[in-house]
Amino acid sequence: MIRDISKNIKEAILTNENLALDNYSLKEGIYLKLSINYDIEFDESLEYIVIDKENKDDSIKNRDLYMWFKERDYYSSILNDDTNKAIDLPAKKIHSTNHLSFFIKKENILNLENNKKFKYEDLLNRTDIYYDKLLKADEKFLEIHDSSIFKQRKLKKGEENKFLDKYFKEQMDYIKSEERKTSIKNHKNFILNNLNKIINGLEKLNKEVKFDNYVKIFFDENIGTYKKEQEVYLFPRIFNVNTYNIFTEDYILGLPSKNITTNDKKPYLLLRSMDCKVPTRVTLEEAIIQDVLFNFLEKQGKFKEIKMDHDYKFDGEKIHTDRKSYYSLRLDQNSEIDEFDFIPTNNENLEFNLINITNRKVRIDWEDAKSKKVLEEEKCINSLYRLKGLFCERFLLNDVKATDYFRKYEFSKGRNLKITNNMKSIFIVNRESLHDFFSHGIDISFKETVNKMTKDFIKERIRYLTEGINLWDVMGAYNLRVSLLDYFKKEGEESLENQIKKVLESLEGKLTKDNKELLCENDREFYFLSGQLAYYLLSLSQAKRKTYGMFEGILNARNSEKIKKELIHLFELYKHEIGIGNILFKRTFSSVIGHRTTTKLDEKNEEMLLVGITYDNIFYRGKEEKKND
**Does the pLDDT value for residue 186 go beyond 70?**
yes
Q: How confident is the model at residue 76 (pLDDT cuts 50, 70, 90)?
A: very high
Same domain, residue pair 480 and 385: yes
Q: State the burial class of residue 407 (Cβ atoms within 10 Å of its Cβ: 0-12, 13-18, 19+).
A: middle
Q: In terms of domains, do 94 and 160 share one?
A: yes
In this structure, the dihedral spanned by the alpha carbons of residues 113, 115, 121 and 122, taken in order and rounded to 10 degrees, is: -170
Residue range 552-587, pLDDT digits in tens? 999 999 999 999 999 999 999 999 999 888 888 998
For residues 214 and 103, is the Cβ–Cβ distance under 8 A?
A: yes
Same-domain status, 110 and 216 = yes
Please give the pLDDT value at position 626. 44
* Residue with the larger pLDDT of the pair 516 and 115: 115
Residue type, 386: R
Report angle CA 360, 474, 305 to the nearest 5 degrees.
Answer: 110
Question: Residue 405 domain-assigned?
Answer: yes
Shared-domain flag, residues 388 and 329? no
Q: Is the pLDDT of residue 172 over 90?
A: yes
Report pLDDT for 555: 93
Flag whether 73 is in a domain.
yes
Judge whether 332 lies within some domain. yes
- Residue 273 belongs to a domain: no
Same domain, 535 and 476: no
List, for residues 304-352, the tens digit of each pLDDT value: 889 888 888 888 888 888 766 888 889 988 888 888 888 887 777 789 9
Q: Which backbone phi and psi does 174 adopt, to 5 degrees?
A: -70, -45
- 496: enclosing H helix or E strand: helix 496-508
Name the region of 457 (left: φ>0; alpha: ψ -120 to 50; beta: rest). Answer: alpha
Angle of helix 472-487 relative to helix 603-614, nearest 10 degrees, comes to: 140
Do 533 and 464 share a structural domain? Answer: no
SS (H, E, C) 94-143: ECECCCCEEEEEHHHCCCHHHCCCCCHHHHHHHHHHHHHHHHCHHHHHHH
How confident is the model over 131-165, as pLDDT tens digits?
999 999 999 999 999 999 888 788 888 899 999 99
Coil/strand/helix, residue 200: helix
Q: Are residues 158 and 50 in the same domain?
A: yes
204: which strand partners? none
pLDDT of residue 595: 93
| pLDDT tens readout for residues 94-127 | 999 999 999 999 999 998 888 888 999 999 999 9
Alpha carbon distance 504, 228 (integer Å): 77
Cα distances (angstroms) measured from residue 482 to each of 227, 249, 501, 546, 607:
60, 66, 12, 28, 10
Distance CA 629, CA 626 (A): 8
On average, the pLDDT of the chain sits at 89
Domain holding 558, by residue range, is 496-628
pLDDT in tens, 239-249: 988 988 999 99
As a whole-number percent, the residues of the chain with pLDDT over 90 amount to 59
Tell me: pLDDT of 629 over 70. no
| Domain assignment present for 398 | yes
Residues 362 and 316 in one domain: no
On whether residue 251 sits in a domain, the answer given is no
- What pLDDT does residue 514 have? 64
Q: Are residues 363 and 450 in the same domain?
A: yes
Residue 106's pLDDT is 94
Q: Do 74 and 174 belong together in one domain?
A: yes
pLDDT at res. 342: 86
Verify that 507 and 577 share a domain, yes or no. yes
Q: Are 28 and 213 in contact (CB under 8 A)?
A: yes
Residue 7's pLDDT band (boundaries 50, 70, 90)?
confident
Least confident of 377-381, 385-389, 468-472, 541-545: 541-545
Query: CA quadruple 484, 487, 488, 493: dihedral positive or negative?
Result: positive
User: Do residues 157 and 25 both lie within one domain?
Assistant: yes
Mean pLDDT, rounded, for 525-533: 95
pLDDT (0 to 100) of residue 624 = 47
613 domain-assigned: yes
- How high is the pLDDT of residue 191? 96
Closest CA to 71 of 190, 205, 184, 222: 222
- Cα(62)–Cα(48) distance, integer angstroms: 10
Q: Tens digits of per-residue pLDDT, 265-291? A: 655 566 666 666 777 889 999 999 888
pLDDT more than 70, % of the chain: 93
Q: Which residues on neighbouring strands pair with residue 375, listed in sequence order?
A: 361
Q: 3-class SS at 327?
A: strand
- Half-sphere exposure of residue 135: CA atoms within 13 angstroms, side-chain side: 15
Please report the DSSP string for 227-289 in residue order: HHHHHHHHTTTSBS-STT-EE-SS-EEE-BSSS----TT-GGGSBTTSTTBSS--EEHHHHHH
pLDDT in tens, 598-614: 888 999 999 999 999 99
ω before 90 within 30° of 0 (cis)?
A: yes
d(C-alpha 492, C-alpha 452), whole Å: 21
Q: How many domains does the chain have?
A: 4
Out of 448, 465, 493, pick the residue that ends a domain. 493
- Residues forming beta bridges with residue 165, ordered by sequence position: none
Is residue 274 in a domain? no
